Amino acid sequence: MKPPDPTSQIAPKKILFATDFSPASEAALPYAFSLAGHYGSNLCFAHVISLDYPDFPPPEERAAKL
């Protein structure tokens, strides 16, 4: 097997954009679109939440409500 050429360009087929809808992630969105457009990549989105969020009940309380 031939080693990859170090001068070759890497072109990702898929780019994952994880967001929590914070100002920082909103500011990063245009860059994700730009990268996907430049490489012809599919742009996939994932909404991320923190389990430490103050309004998010602990696992015991969530299980009790089921």
* Residue-wise pLDDT tens digits, 22-49: 899 999 999 999 999 998 999 999 997 7
- pTM surpassing 0.75? no
Q: Is 20 helix (H, G, I), strand (E, B) or coil?
A: coil
The residue ranges of every structural domain in the chain are 14-65
Cβ proximity of 1 and 30 under 8 Å: no
Q: What is the pLDDT of residue 1?
A: 64
% of the chain beyond a pLDDT of 90 = 45
d(CA 53, CA 41): 33
